[in-house]
Amino acid sequence: MKWIVLLPLLLALTFAEEAEDNELKIAEECDREACKLPECRCSSSDIPGGLKPRNTPQFVTVTFDDAVNVLNIETYRAILYNRRNSNGCNAGATFYVNHEYTNYQLVNELYNRGYEIALHSITHRTPNSFWATATYEDLVKEFVDQRRQMSHFANIPMNAIQGIRKPFLQLSGNTSFLMMANHGLKYDCSWPSNVHTDHALWPYTLDHASTQDCPIGPCPTASIPGPWVMPMISWRDLNNFPCSMVDTCVFFPDREDEDEWFKFIMSNFERHYFGNRAPFGFFVHEWYIREYSGVRKAFIRFMDVINNIPDVFMVNSNEVIEWVKNPIPVNEYREKRCPSHTPSVCRHASCGPLRGEHNNLDYWMQICTSCPRNYPWFGNPLGQ
């Protein structure tokens, strides 16, 4: 009885506190004694668990950004489906999906194939400055609401959605991490590192000050326990310039030349594999491998190679965070049961036209639940 009376009050207090960020403490230099796994890790290139490189699984995180649609699903089906790592588990990949023009039936398909679905905002709006200066409320509406939206329209469990990538990799200082901490989002994979590529940073938390370079600031400087930073370790292009996504490299081999592209990918991979085995990212937009046959063939060849190396594992990004929290040597890791997920049905519905209030365009939606009354958007994620 008491709780029924108290609950609204408690909720009101919690929300008042949430929006309040002027009480944030500046993050202090990391204290290795105080900061211990599984919940805390200093930003560093040390291998978790004090493992030697040769005992450390080399994780490869393949990620695709933006809307999932009938065109790009063809690429995903062709190059990813039925691919396995050398331990027999399905090879993973992570999709950072934004809402507009996303086909949620296909998101459901990706989820059921075991891939990770993560957040890339509802609006993906321009300009970048919106994201640089976004308020706490904006970010709740872009990401926390998107998690509900994704779960609803693709019919996938809310708790399967744990990661975010900011549009244009534009960070928002403390604010996005605070939003994540308060709403149980586990990791961010938007923060490039151009400096720490040889001794690459492993994922870390923000309890203490980050030592990572900040190419697209503002970067967080407050102490924010909870969410993990999964640094986007840049590749080095042919002139040694850093590129955070494969399609943003400036000096690259002829994109019709499979052999040269394969060498280019391998040389970046080997920096990790023969170094401290920090997770190696292949971060790309689908159009880049659809458009350029050399890149596509080289990428497939690269995956074929690593899927046959006993200590390399192509996994969903959230599995990397799980490993970092509880690091185990590669021989033990190989023996683990494969990750599994609860299958989820999609009851197909095709909806539209739905008028977008923000731009007066008509949209059609392919979803796994009954049709919304309005076009779902910022501030009305379920289109009620």
Closest residue to bound ligand NAG by CB? 173
* Smallest distance, ligand NAG to C-beta of residue 175, A: 7
Q: Does the protein bind Zn ion through residue 66 (CB under 5 A)?
A: yes
Furthest CA-CA distance within the chain = 71
Residue whose CB is less far from ligand NAG, 85 or 175: 175
Q: Is 24 in the site for ligand NAG (CB under 6 A)?
A: yes
Residue 60 CA: distances (Å) to CA of 183, 185, 214, 315: 27, 22, 23, 6
Q: Are 189 and 63 in contact (CB under 8 A)?
A: yes
Which residue number places its CB atom closest to Zn ion? 65
| Residue 66 contact among Zn ion, ligand NAG, none, beta carbon within 5 to 8 Å by kind | Zn ion
227 within 8 A of 206, measured Cβ to Cβ: yes
**152 with 343: CB under 8 angstroms?**
no
- Unique residue bearing structure tokens 């969903």: 316
Residue 108's nearest CA partner among 367, 376, 381 is 367
CB-wise, 73 or 132, nearer to ligand NAG?
132
Is residue 218 a contact point for ligand NAG (CB under 6 A)? yes
Query: Which partner from the list Zn ion, ligand NAG, none does 35 bind, CB cut-off 5 to 8 Å by kind?
Result: none
d(CA 103, CA 71): 10
CB 123 to ligand NAG: min, Å: 22
**Alpha helices in 204-340, H assignment, sequence order:** 258-273, 286-291, 293-306, 317-325, 330-335
Q: Which does 286 bind (CB under 5 to 8 A by kind): ligand NAG, Zn ion, none?
A: none
If contact means CB under 5 to 8 A according to the sort of partner, which of ligand NAG, Zn ion, none does residue 65 touch? Zn ion
142 counts as binding Zn ion under rule CB under 5 A: no
Rounded distance between C-alpha atoms, residue 117 and residue 97, angstroms:
7
Determine which residue in the list 4, 26, 33, 239 makes contact with ligand NAG, applying CB under 6 A: 26
- Residues that bind ligand NAG (rule: CB under 6 A) add up to a total of 7
Across-strand partners of 164?
119, 188
Which of 121, 174, 210, 318 forms a contact with ligand NAG (CB under 6 A)? 174
Confirm or reject binding of residue 181 to ligand NAG (CB under 6 A): no
Piece in contact with ligand NAG (CB under 6 A), picked from 74-82, 157-165, 187-195, 218-226: 218-226
**Cα 130 from Cα 374, distance rounded (Å):** 25
Closest CA relative to residue 165, chosen from 287, 290, 283, 43: 283
Separation between Cα atoms, residue 45 and residue 212, nearest integer Å? 10
210 binds ligand NAG (CB under 6 A): no
Instruction: Decide: 206 and 223 in contact? Cβ < 8 Å.
Output: yes
Query: In whole angstroms, how close is the CB of 223 to ligand NAG at the nearest point?
Result: 8
Does position 4 bind ligand NAG by CB under 6 A?
no
The 222-261 site mask, x for binding ligand NAG (CB under 6 A), equals x---------------------------------------
Q: Which residue has the tokens 């910022």?
A: 378
